[in-house]
Structure 1
Amino acid sequence: MTIPATDIAVPAQVMHLAGGAALTPVWANSIGGLTFRSDDGRFIKWGPHDSEANMRDEGERMRWASRWTRVPEVIAQGQDATHEWLVTVALPGESAAFPRWIAEPASAVRAIGEGLRMLHDALPVDECPWSWSVPTRITKAEARGIRVPHVLRDPPPVDRLVVCHGDACAPNTLLDEDGTPLAHVDLAALGTADRWADIAVASMSTLWNYGPGWEETLIEAYGVAPDRERLAYYRELWNAN
């Protein structure tokens, strides 16, 4: 994801959803999706249909997770023949990948690790209706035409089953002004899985967002010793999908 130019063209559907509110672009993703913040306290997320993570699933999972942890409140969700959109209440925090936190990696990385542990501890496995297990992920990848290497079909035994975020990369943790984990966003893949599925991706994402040297800091902040086998496996699985 990147921060788009302020003069980016606003899609007609986003203008309609804004209803006259002023818009500021905040994110652009690799498939043409855009996220805007309105001056009346909303985020409007818009983009082409995504077979991997759609906004209908995201809205449903956020409504479920909000019973136990802080996530944006869903106002509206919809789609047409080519695009989909999601409107949520803006929370007061900033993404851990915004410029302020990129400049303060020690604070940001620790907060991401602590926030991920808080999420895993808060969400009840027995009440979660979705799976992000290895077989589920491989099945969905193959449905999208991705050939998953045979070696990845034999995962390590589950260490601790939790409700995983499903995309625990650095931008998806919101931090408050003091650098405390505030909330999580982009929950379209949320589901039960080994906690290392999230830890592996979250720690790997520190390389992309803050540069080398921060992976161990995140794992330490989460509160576990690095499990090299599971880290390697779940990173390979992520990259294969």
Structure 2
Amino acid sequence: MHTPSLSGPPVEPVAVPAVVTALAGDAALTPVWRNELGGLTFRLDRSDGVTSYVKWVAAGTPEIDLVGEAERLVWAQARVAVPPVLDHGTDLDGAWLLTAAVPGRSAVDAHWAGRATDVAAGIGRGLRLLHDALPVDECPFDWGIERRLRRADERIAAGEGPANWFPEHRHLDPDEARARLDAPPAVDRLVVCHGDACVPNTLLHDDATFAAHVDLGSLGIADRWADLAVATWSLGWDFGPGFDDVLFDAYGIDPDPHRIAYYRLLYDLA
């Protein structure tokens, strides 16, 4: 996600793409999420009790690669809890990804109101499980700095700047912000990162233990701080300040302000 206020359950009627209607068949179809780029997620509830989810994005949305996400899920699902892929494809209107439901609630579900400490701990443990379970030497996917800087350059060239950034970075001019990204910190530990470790992308069981990871379209090899910086940042968006240390403790690491600042800026610009 890029601007947290623009992602969430739809509050207005949603036009259902034709392919989603076809995939649903006789299942009850409920829109459950719209991201800031217009991507939609629907829940499909069949009469036999089986639930699945379909993600759809319009053609010409390069930031969301559902075919790539399907490849990443298939690669990861033998080692970590992620939604199993049932179908995916593209047509002239867009792309779709159909996955089976997995146990757990989104960490931004209303169930967690007043339980930010439990959520932060569950996310921290879930990230540690992900980073420890997925083998870097077998991972074909990259989420490293060089690749992401190319995307930052594309966005700056297209005219994006401080007005598109989070408040923490709006005092920077594009040249200064970009120059800071040319001085990355040394790698702490290479892992297979989630790629968008925001709060909604962790599912938790009702006792707040980790259940599964979702939205893995950017999964790839990077320093673990690329995930940790964004996970703790996202806690502030969804629950307010004061819970970073809970996540770090649950993960098993001390905060690193320099790496946190760098990877938050990289996330914002790229």
In the alignment, is the contact (CA less than 8 A) between 2:57 and 2:64 conserved in 1?
no
Per the TM alignment, residue 179 of structure 1 is displaced from its structure 2 partner at its CA by 1.1
Which residue does the alignment assign to 2:236?
Answer: 207
Per mean C-alpha deviation after superposition, the further-off stretch among 183-192 and 47-56 is: 47-56
- Alignment of 1:234 with 2:263, yes or no, is yes
How big is each residue's C-alpha offset from its partner over 1:17-46, in whole Å with a ceiling of 9 and x where there is no partner? 101110122111112221111113110111
Which amino acid in structure 1 is aligned with residue 235 of structure 2?
T
Q: Report what 1:32 is aligned to.
A: 38
Q: For 1:163 and 1:42, how far apart are their aligned partners in 2?
A: 26
**1:81 positional shift:** 2.3
In the TM superposition, residue 141 of structure 1 has moved relative to its aligned partner by 3.2
Cα distance, 1:5 vs structure 2? 3.8
How far did 1:6 drift? 8.0
Equivalent AA in structure 1 for residue 257 of structure 2: R
Task: Indicate if the aligned counterparts of 2:9 and 2:33 stay in contact, CA closer than 8 A.
Answer: yes
Give the TM-score, by structure 2 length.
0.85
Structure 2 residue 132 is the aligned partner of structure 1 residue 126:
no
Q: Equivalent residue for 2:10?
A: 4
Q: Structure 2 CA distance, aligned partners of 1:6 and 1:100? A: 22
Check if 1:115 corresponds to 2:126: yes
SS at structure 2 position matched to 1:203: helix
Residues 81 and 212 in structure 2, CA contact (< 8 A), matched pair in contact too: yes
The amino acid of 2:105's aligned partner reads: E
Report how many residues are paired: 241
Query: Structure 1 residue aligned with 2:249, among 220, 227, 234?
Result: 220
Paired letter, 1:171 = P
Asked whether the equivalents of residues 104 and 203 of structure 2 are also in contact (C-alpha less than 8 Å), the reply is yes
Query: Which deviates more from structure 2 when the two are superposed, residues 166-175 or residues 215-224?
Result: 215-224
Q: Distance in 2 between matches of 1:94 and 1:135?
A: 34
Runs of 4+ in 1 over 4 A off after TM superposition: 143-148
Q: How does 1:1-241 map to 2 (within 5 A)?
A: 1-5=7-11, 7-40=13-46, 41-49=51-59, 50-143=61-154, 145=157, 149-241=178-270
Distance in 2 between residues matched to 1:196 and 1:239, nearest whole Å: 14
Q: Is the 8 A contact 1:6 1:24 kept in 2?
A: no
1:149 partner SS = helix
Instruction: Read off the aligned partner of 1:58 and give its amino acid letter.
Output: E
Question: Alignment identity in percent?
Answer: 50
Structure 1 length-normalised TM: 0.95
